[in-house]
Amino acid sequence: MKAMILAAGLGTRMRPLTDHTPKPLLKVGGKPLLQHHLERLKAIGIGDVVINVSHLGEQIIEALGDGGRYGVRIQWSQEERPLETGGGIHKALPLLGESPFLLVNGDVWCDLDPAWLSPLNGDLARLVLTDNPDHHPGGDFHLDADERVHATGDPCLTFAGISLIDPALVANQPADAFPLAPLLRNAMAEGRVGGCHYTGLWIDVGTPQRLQELDERIRGQST
């Protein structure tokens, strides 16, 4: 199985840190966020990784190269302008192939579970959901007792930014910028989105404050 890491965002919430450094290269625990992802992907047996880049993307490519030093093989999908999640996946389809792949947001922090990679069995996606953080108390989607994901319902959990995606979800879309969420909601309405509830440590590293808090946490654990 392949994985795709989303790393093409502008990182506007991280400014001024991202004025000259792309967000995926910001460091926590002495290593860039992207390096942590690569190490965790390798640990669950994924060695082929596609990374999309746009804003300051040359820095990311130069820093990680072909992935050999991390024990993986990286293929790069370069975007002249950010294409949003859906458009970024669509552009990368020639590199991803026709089989389901693990999609990981470049700015989240959590362990990866091999159980998330089990066959989709006709679904178009499997979403990893987590308990709602303080900065997102309303959540995103409802997970029922049969591990089916719904656009509405109570309680709602937060999408962790990690999912198993069938390329068919975006394959018929035009080659342009578009979000992934509406396609996921359509698939939910068709009963074709499963989910799992992750209860371990998860952090959306979306602001300088949360980046600093995560860095201090990791460094504290290593002392």
CATH numbers and ranges of domains, the chain: 2-221 (3.90.550.10)
Q: CA 45 → CA 52, 105, 123, 170, distances in Å?
A: 21, 18, 22, 25
pLDDT tens for each residue of the chain, 223 residues long? 999 999 998 667 777 766 778 888 888 888 999 999 999 999 999 999 999 999 888 999 999 999 999 999 999 999 999 899 999 999 999 999 999 999 999 989 999 999 999 999 999 999 999 999 999 999 999 999 999 999 999 999 999 999 999 999 999 999 999 999 999 999 999 999 999 999 999 999 888 889 888 888 888 775 5
| Helix intervals (H) in the chain | 33-43, 57-64, 84-96, 181-189, 208-221
The pTM of the full predicted model, rounded to 2 decimals, is: 0.94
Which helix (H) or strand (E) is 68 found in, with range? none
